Copies of this chain bind each other. A is one copy, B any other.
């Protein structure tokens, strides 16, 4: 169990690191540095177990590279599930190592189901405390979830998260080109689906407030629709926004400033490949060179966001 409300832990860590960045850990076997691949092949062979080993080694390198400059990592479950049990092993090894290094971990799993099944997913990522067979389970600091099934698919997650002071980020408006297919559908009252989800989240968020005034129930709002961002910021003033779309998907610091409240808090900006594979463009070949490239890319991302915030008088350090 974590000692403080997730939003409080998050805001404290963000301020300490002077960074609103979240680094996505999306390991792809064909893009992992050669020296790790060779070690994996030698140790386990070119198979799922070897791939899981390579993921863990690479993630530890990334975590070492970024830990002084960011507060949060976000492993994307899809990339781990590709290698079945060995990928899941690598996922939890990554969670443990990141937390030991003082980072918060958001599991990007976008789960969604109903009743006792939702509770089982919550147990999977948080704690499973009434289960004697699962006593020493690790827990992530936060999880992304999908609202399509309605409030009774969200409440089991909210309740489980609260018990251990974890957080949740509910999908509201995603960053992909066709996110509007359903999310932008306006109902008769002129309100879009994404806005309806936002109103429901805001209702729940008030029951999960930390001392900082922010809620442990946040929202995913893509950086690729900066005008919508202002609307969502008003609908959910107490929710932290997890903002994908920075970097590879094209958004920059100035596109994400609207995700922040006037107090300079309330948004986490997420980038994955543009950071963790930044070593490719400088052709880095060894541990130190790869690590340095990733550190450098992280520092630049922080600078870009911080200077955009400074222009808006939203910089809190």
Q: Which B residues touch A78, using CB under 8 A?
A: 111, 113, 117-118, 120-121, 124
A150 partner, pick from B92, B133, B152, B181, beta carbons under 8 A? B181
A48 CB contact (under 8 Å) in B120, B134, B148: B134
Decide if A186 is an interface residue (CB 8 Å cutoff). yes
Bound Cα distance from A132 to B82, whole angstroms: 12
Known: A82-B123, A120-B78, A133-B83. A177 touches B197 (CB 8 A): no
Is residue A167 within 8 Å, beta carbon to beta carbon, of the partner chain? no
Asked if A67 lies at the interface with its beta carbon under 8 angstroms from chain B, I say no
- Bound state CA distance, A68 and B36, in angstroms? 49
Closest to A120 in B: B78
The reply to whether A134 and B82 contact each other, CB–CB distance below 8 Å, is yes
Q: Which residues of B have CB within 8 Å of A87? A: 124
Determine whether A188 belongs to the interface, using a CB cutoff of 8 Å to chain B: yes
Question: Within the complex, what minimum Cβ distance (angstroms) separates A29 from chain B?
Answer: 5
Within 8 A of B (CB), among A164-184: 171, 174-183
Q: How many copies does the complex hold?
A: 2
Residue interface mask A68-111, B partner, CB < 8 A = 1: 00000000101101111111110010000000000000000011
Contact A152 B133, CB 8 Å, known A78-B121, A81-B121, A187-B188: no
Residues of A in contact, count (CB < 8 Å): 67
A261 to B147, CA, bound (A): 30
* Contact indicator A150/B183 (Cβ below 8 Å): yes
B151 near A148: Cβ-Cβ < 8 Å: no
Interface contact B185-A124, CB-CB below 8 Å: no
Contact check: which of B117, B135, B151, B193 meets A193 at CB < 8 Å?
B193
Tell me which residues across on chain B come within 8 A of A205, comparing CB atoms: none
Partner of A147, one of B152, B182, B186, B187: B182
Contact B82 A85 (CB under 8 A): no
Cβ of A15 to closest chain B Cβ, rounded Å? 30
Known: A81-B121, A152-B177; 19 extra A-B contacts, CB below 8 A, are: A29-B131, A78-B111, A82-B124, A82-B128, A83-B133, A84-B89, A84-B124, A87-B124, A112-B146, A114-B176, A146-B148, A148-B182, A149-B174, A150-B174, A151-B181, A152-B178, A153-B178, A182-B193, A187-B188
Q: Across the A-B interface, give the 9 residue pairs with the lowest CB-CB distance, nearest first.
A: A150-B181, A150-B178, A78-B120, A81-B124, A114-B176, A85-B85, A152-B178, A148-B148, A51-B133
